[in-house]
Amino acid sequence: MKPSTRGEIVPTEGPPKGKCAIAIVGGGVMGLGIAYQLAKRGITDVVVLERGYLAQGASGRNGGGVRMQWATEQNVRLMQQSIALCASFAQEIGVNVWFRQGGYLFLAKHERERVTMERNVELQNRCGVPTRMMTPEEAGSLVPELDVSKIVCACYNPKDGVLFPWPFLWGYAHQALKRGVEVHLFTEVKAIARTGAGFTLTTSKGDVHAERVINAAGAWSPEIARMLGVTLPNKPHRHEILSTEPLKPFLTPMVSVLSSGLYFSQSMRGEIVTGITVEDHAEGIQLGSRLKFLQTLAREMVSLVPRFADLKILRQWAGPYDVSPDGHPILGEPPGVPGFYLACGFVGHGFMMAPIIAQVYAEWLAGGAKHEIFDRCRLARFAEGKLEKESMILG
């Protein structure tokens, strides 16, 4: 066997080191991305604590969509940068992520959606994103399988795309490990206490004292914050997803219907990966699969794309959206707990934002510029009541 270009680097075995500069709770794309970006800047006295196997959380369960089409300028600009980072990821990190820019095609089924769609396109254009409005016929040229009689208008940005999420985690973890960062899997944080100027984290494999702590635990971030007496307003919300049999490539863009939250795209392996919004009364983090999801999705999908009726589903699963009340993440230090940094509340766009968020976070923590997003997305904004909602949420 040709030796791996990655040599013998494996997730850290044994207990975490007793002291470190920064402890990161959560080994998903956000935590590992920040660890990598810190290590790149010479900050390697870092310990990442992940309680499951790599990709057990939302980072391993999402559909891999990345888009610049958002309804708020903040998100549009952030995603422009993130997509640029995705496009060069394979070269920088040395792992293929199968990033394909086939675009995102949004469909409107009702005339009342047109105004909002046009306004969002105009906002995106102002930021330099080449989204354009499309007639149903134009949408039908791009995706011939669509029943265009069901739609009134559409918009399309050819620079949006899809990628395969898991390699991000392997790549970030490997690059961080290579530089001396500790990455512990199957290591649960059970308690965090303020000790002196820093924090002591009690884990299932021993204690760690850290000068600073980053909460990148996604849907589990409120649990982690509570350990320090911080109440977060984000709530977990189950989103189901399924993939079909592998087919020869035919579908160029990711297609989405805003009114139902339906999205579908074709992965590099040829599978159609798709999800839809389904009401959910389950409490807490619920990751089981429901027939109701399958039926809701099948009905909408077969109505929009009749030819998909014969497509065979191979498996359905679910992942937790970490939903913040205004659709924007919760970042920076909460009031009264300096040294504790939040990186959560990313709803359904945490993965796609991770590359840029990791970069700006590391920049700031390394003593560099503080991106304005850390002020804009401060936890205190909920108490202050100054909110601008992001409405283009899918799934």
Partner 1 sequence: MSTKAMICRCEDVTLADVQHTISLGYKSIEEVKRYTGLGTGPCEGKECMVHAGRLCALAHGGDESVVQPFTSRPPVQPAPLAIFARPDDGADE
Partner 2 sequence: MARSDDRRIHEVPHGDKLTLRFEGEDIPACAGESVAVALFASGERVLSRSIKYHRPRGFFCLAGHCGACLMRIDGKPNVRACKTPAKEGLRVERQNAFPTGAFDVLGAADFFFPKGMDHHTMMTSPRALNAVLNKVVRQLGGLGKLPDRQETPAELPRPRHKHVDVVVVGGGPAGLGCATETARGGKRTLLVDEQDRVGGSLLAHPAHGVRAANEALAAALKAGVEVLSSSTALAWYPEDVASAGRDPGLLAVHTPDGLLKVTAERYVYATGAYDQNAVFVDNDRPGVLPARAVGRLLVRFGVKPAERPVVVGDGPYARALAEALAKTGAEVTRIDGRDEQIVAASGHGWVRSVETSKRKKIKCDLVAVAALPAPASELPRQHGVPVAFADGKGGFFCRVDDEGKSAAHHVFACGDVTGFGGIDDAVSAGARSGRAVVASFTGNGMGKVHI
* Residues at the interface with partner 1 (CB under 8 A): 1, 4, 6, 8-11, 13, 53-56, 60, 166, 170, 245-246, 269, 289, 291, 294-295, 297-299, 301-303, 308-317
Which does residue 99 bind out of partner 2, partner 1, none, counting CB within 5 to 8 angstroms by kind? Answer: partner 2
* φ and ψ of 171, to 5 deg: -65, -50
Residue 141 binds to partner 2 (criterion: CB under 8 A): no
Which does residue 54 bind out of partner 2, partner 1, none, counting CB within 5 to 8 angstroms by kind? Answer: partner 1
Region for 284 from its dihedrals, namely left if φ exceeds 0, alpha if ψ lies in -120 to 50, beta otherwise: left
Tokens of 264: 């579908």
Residues 42 and 379: their CA atoms lie apart, in Å, by: 29
Minimal distance, residue 314 CB to partner 1, in Å: 6
Q: Name the DSSP class of 378.
A: B
Q: Please say which residue, 170 or 364, places its beta carbon nearer to partner 2.
A: 170
Which does residue 317 bind out of partner 1, partner 2, none, counting CB within 5 to 8 angstroms by kind? Answer: partner 1
The 292-321 site mask, x for binding partner 2 (CB under 8 A), equals x--x------x---xx-xxxx---------
CB 350, CB 239: distance < 8 Å: no
Residues 28 and 92: their CA atoms lie apart, in Å, by: 19
Q: CA–CA distance from 326 to each of 270, 277, 371, 376 (Å)?
A: 35, 18, 20, 12
CB 263, CB 272: distance < 8 Å: no
Which does residue 152 bind out of partner 2, partner 1, none, counting CB within 5 to 8 angstroms by kind? Answer: none
Minimal distance, residue 242 CB to partner 2, in Å: 12
**Look-up: residue for tokens 């679910």?**
318
User: Among 128, 229, 246, 335, which residue sits at the site for partner 2 (rule: CB under 8 A)?
Assistant: 246
Minimal distance, residue 306 CB to partner 2, in Å: 6
Which does residue 53 bind out of partner 1, partner 2, none, counting CB within 5 to 8 angstroms by kind? Answer: partner 1
Residue 125 binds to partner 2 (criterion: CB under 8 A): no
Tokens of 162: 């899809």
Q: Please say which residue, 308 or 364, places its beta carbon nearer to partner 1.
A: 308
Q: Please say which residue, 37 or 244, places its beta carbon nearer to partner 2.
A: 244
CB atoms within 10 A of CB 341: 22
Residue 80 binds to partner 2 (criterion: CB under 8 A): no
267-273-276 Cα angle (round to 5): 150
Q: Please say which residue, 124 or 267, places its beta carbon nearer to partner 2.
A: 267
Residues 320 and 209: their CA atoms lie apart, in Å, by: 29
Residue 4 binds to partner 2 (criterion: CB under 8 A): yes
Which does residue 55 bind out of partner 2, partner 1, none, counting CB within 5 to 8 angstroms by kind? Answer: partner 1
The kind and range of the H/E element at 344 are strand 340-344
The 266-295 site mask, x for binding partner 2 (CB under 8 A), equals -xxxxx----------x-----xxxxx--x
CB 313, CB 244: distance < 8 Å: yes
Which does residue 11 bind out of partner 2, partner 1, none, counting CB within 5 to 8 angstroms by kind? Answer: partner 1
Q: Give which of 85, 125, 60, 135 is closest to 105, Cα–Cα.
A: 135
Q: Please say which residue, 85 or 298, places its beta carbon nearer to partner 1.
A: 298
Which does residue 182 bind out of partner 1, partner 2, none, counting CB within 5 to 8 angstroms by kind? Answer: none
Render 159-174 in DSSP notation, one character per residue. Answer: T-EE--SHHHHHHHHH
Residues 139 and 109: their CA atoms lie apart, in Å, by: 13
Q: CA–CA distance from 53 to each of 2, 169, 195, 308 (Å)?
A: 26, 11, 29, 34
* Amino acid making up residue 20: C
Minimal distance, residue 63 CB to partner 2, in Å: 16
Q: Please say which residue, 180 or 306, places its beta carbon nearer to partner 2.
A: 306
Residues contacting partner 2: total by CB under 8 A? 42
Q: Give which of 134, 140, 158 is closest to 305, Cα–Cα.
A: 140
Which does residue 193 bind out of partner 2, partner 1, none, counting CB within 5 to 8 angstroms by kind? Answer: none
- Point out which residues bind partner 2 (CB under 8 A): 1, 4-6, 88, 90-91, 93-96, 98-100, 145, 167, 170, 245-250, 267-271, 282, 288-292, 295, 302, 306-307, 309-312
